[in-house]
């Protein structure tokens, strides 16, 4: 199994304002962001950069987060990488479907915006423990 890069986060977020919030929360703490701009980027970049966390916007229209989640969880090279997702808090169907597909943690957009670094660090720790 490939060792993950503990300070790399694969970000599948195409909302430029939200991406900027993620960047501003993580870069000052030594994280490196790898951006997945399209569906095919998610698995390709996850398998080549070995991120410690994959961040998915479940409401994104460009990257199908459900398909990305299915693809990641089906590939033994990357299926152990924790996936942090966020969605509109009222979108119960999306939350339930994400959980059924194996998302590690799903939070509201507001919580993600307010606690990006803490949430990422929680999953980085989880991923490191999972590899031991």
Closest CA to 18 of 83, 113, 106, 115: 113
Q: What is the pLDDT of residue 126?
A: 78
Q: What is the pLDDT of residue 50?
A: 92
- As for how many domains the chain has, the answer is 1
The CATH number for 111's domain is 3.40.50.2300
Q: What is the pLDDT of residue 61?
A: 84
The predicted model gives 7-31 an average pLDDT of 95
Closest CA to 83 of 93, 68, 97: 68
Distances from the Cα of 71 to the Cα of 36, 42, 58, 107, angstroms: 14, 9, 14, 21
Neighbour count for residue 65 (Cβ, 10 Å): 27
The predicted model gives 76-99 an average pLDDT of 94
pLDDT over 60 at 73, yes or no: yes
pLDDT over 80 at 130, yes or no: no
pLDDT over 70 at 128, yes or no: no
Residue 82 belongs to domain spanning: 5-131
Report the C-alpha gap between 83 and 69 in whole angstroms: 8
């Amino acid at each position: 199994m490939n060792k993950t890069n503990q300070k790399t986060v694969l970000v599948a977020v195409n909302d430029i304002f939200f991406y900027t919030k993620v960047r501003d929360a993580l870069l000052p703490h030594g994280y490196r962001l790898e951006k997945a701009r399209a569906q095919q980027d998610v698995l390709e970049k996850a398998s080549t950069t070995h991120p410690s966390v994959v961040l998915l916007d479940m409401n994104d229209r460009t990257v199908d987060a459900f398909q990305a989640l299915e693809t990641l969880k089906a590939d033994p090279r990357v299926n152990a990488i924790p996936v942090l997702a966020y969605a509109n808090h009222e979108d119960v169907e999306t939350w339930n479907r994400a959980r059924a597909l194996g998302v590690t943690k799903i939070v509201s957009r507001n919580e993600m915006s307010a606690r990006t670094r803490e949430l990422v660090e929680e999953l980085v720790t989880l991923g490191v423990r999972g590899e031991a």
